[in-house]
Amino acid sequence: MRKITILCSMMLLSVGIVVAQQNEEGVPFNGLIQSHDGRGVKARIEVVGSDKLTYSDGKGRFGLTDISVDDTLRVVVKRRELLIPVAGYRSIAITLDESMAVRSSSESDELADIGYGYVKRREKIDFSSGISGERLRATGHSNIIDALLVCAPQLRMVNGELCLYGQGSINSSSAILILCDGQEINPRHINVADVESVEILKGANMYGFRGANGVVLITTKSAQSK
């Protein structure tokens, strides 16, 4: 009887852990983008109408979370933009033809069964959000800081500095590092009309001690086209 009780307790604990993990991380949505000859395709993948953003790796794999049945994916490959409806899929396998147009898209049980694998490697890597230049311009602000404050609620102004909630320390500046096309720049010199996209990173230690407060990565249209 004691063994049965212990076994039941362990099963309940396992279920609780899985449920907690799902509540914390959301529902995984895995994808695969391949060329007509089966090679992985590197691409930028956005969810239309949201800030969700990820990239496929060298094998064409990518992961997102909490994708709705009526969402549409915007896939950018070599400056070509493809719109692919999710169509209720739990995962998606995309094949491109020779001209980089969509040959087929379908649900894959194999990808769905991977669970959180691709999500942890892709969407969850330090990125807090991705914002398109189109959405920034839709705010009506010409000042990029004002536009970012509208689109990214995790940002705030503290003593005239752009900061992330919960970042920084009392004894030093908590200003977020702002890079435009890889170079540190005064945001006043950035024209919102020239912005292709913005990505916000939390605790980006790869940028040294300055990155500890977070980093705003701004990509302009001219840099994107290179």
Q: How much is the pLDDT for 187?
A: 84
**Same domain (yes/no): 131, 115:** no
The reported pTM is 0.48
- Pair 136, 115 in one domain: no
The answer to whether 164 and 214 are in contact (CB under 8 A) is: yes
Q: Structurally, how many domains does the chain consist of? A: 2
Give a yes or no: residue 110 inside a domain: yes
Residues 35 and 83 placed together within one structural domain of the fold: yes
What pLDDT is stored for residue 89 in this prediction? Answer: 94
Extract the residue ranges of the chain whose pLDDT is less than 70: 1-25, 119-129, 165-172, 203-206, 224-226
Q: Distance (Å, rounded) from C-alpha 115 to C-alpha 91? A: 10
Determine the structural domain holding residue 158 and report its residue range.
Answer: 127-224
What pLDDT score was predicted for residue 97?
A: 92
Q: Residue 174 domain-assigned?
A: yes
Q: Where are the alpha helices (DSSP H) in the chain?
A: 2-25, 109-113, 117-121, 133-138, 144-151, 221-224
**The domain spanning residue 45 has which CATH number?**
2.60.40.1120
pLDDT confidence of residue 90: 93
Look at residue 36 and tell me if it is in a domain: yes
DSSP state of 175: B
What one-letter code names the amino acid at 199? E
| Cα dist from 167 to 24, 127, 172, whole Å | 21, 15, 11
- The reply to whether 11 falls in a domain is no
Query: What is the structure's pLDDT at 117?
Result: 75
How high is the pLDDT of residue 188?
81
Looking at residue 124, its pLDDT comes to 40
Residue 179 maps to a domain? yes
> What is residue 107's predicted lDDT score, i.e. its pLDDT?
94
Same domain, 117 and 140: no
